Amino acid sequence: MNLRKNKTLLFEQVRPRRTCRELLDFARSLLLVVSLLAFAGCGYTTKTALPENIRTIHVDTFKNSIDITKEVSAKDKYEVYRPNLEVDLRDAIVNRVFLDGNFKMSDKGSADAILEGEILQYRKDPLRYQNEIVQEYRISIVCDIKLAREKDSTVLFEERNITGDTAYFTTGALQKTESSALSDAMADLARRIVNRIVENW
């Protein structure tokens, strides 16, 4: 009898009993690990698979093709021209390239690729009126872009009519100047341009 009791005690020491609460905690932990592994398999990453020979980029000043001599019509009533828009847009794109981190900036002669572009439109469209006074505008900048290999001018990527925009209020607590809104629209356009280039690979 004592021998059987000793064997039972020895077995319980080797394989301790688990309470229902411990089993439930173990099941939850196992479920959490499985869920994390499943999500890890389909996670999103900003790392891009750029060609090995395209690591540096030079951003040319875009050509400003907005026609300042065009007659104002009902359709194009709010199309405008902004001096030095092409210079400010280049600065916005350069800042975005630095922020993105997939390319490094370089001089034109030593860069792997050259980004060129053409500004087609700068529009300022009314969105909201009160007593026939515009309270909210949308600013839009439209351009074409082309990324070409520097050494042989091979076109790596191009896209037409990429648009960056923003809306702003002229009155109230959310009031913003047109210059500030324009900076936001250029930042949006720069983000879209760099994202399109990176996502192309």
Q: How confident is the model at residue 116 (pLDDT cuts 50, 70, 90)?
A: very high
Per-residue confidence (pLDDT) for residue 169, from 0 to 100: 93
- 2 versus 144: the higher-pLDDT residue is 144
Query: CB–CB of 87/63 below 8 Å?
Result: no
What CA–CA distances, in Å, run from 78 to 121, 122, 124? 11, 9, 5
DSSP letter at 107?
A: -
User: Is the pLDDT confidence value at 181 over 50?
Assistant: yes
Tokens 């890890």 correspond to 40
Per-residue confidence (pLDDT) for residue 25, from 0 to 100: 65
Express each pLDDT in 123-135 by its tens digit: 989 998 888 888 9
Q: Which long-range contacts (CB under 8 A, 24 or more apart) does 67-75 make?
A: none
User: What is the Cα Rg of the chain in Å?
Assistant: 30
Question: What pTM did the predictor assign?
Answer: 0.70
Share of the chain above pLDDT 70, in %: 68
CA dihedral 115, 116, 122, 127 (to 10 degrees): -30
Residue 158 and residue 170: Cα distance in Å, rounded? 36
Express each pLDDT in 46-102 by its tens digit: 444 456 678 999 999 999 998 777 655 444 555 667 788 999 999 999 999 999 998
Residue 118 and residue 145: Cα distance in Å, rounded? 7
As a whole number, mean pLDDT of residues 138-161 equals 93
Per-residue confidence (pLDDT) for residue 27, from 0 to 100: 60
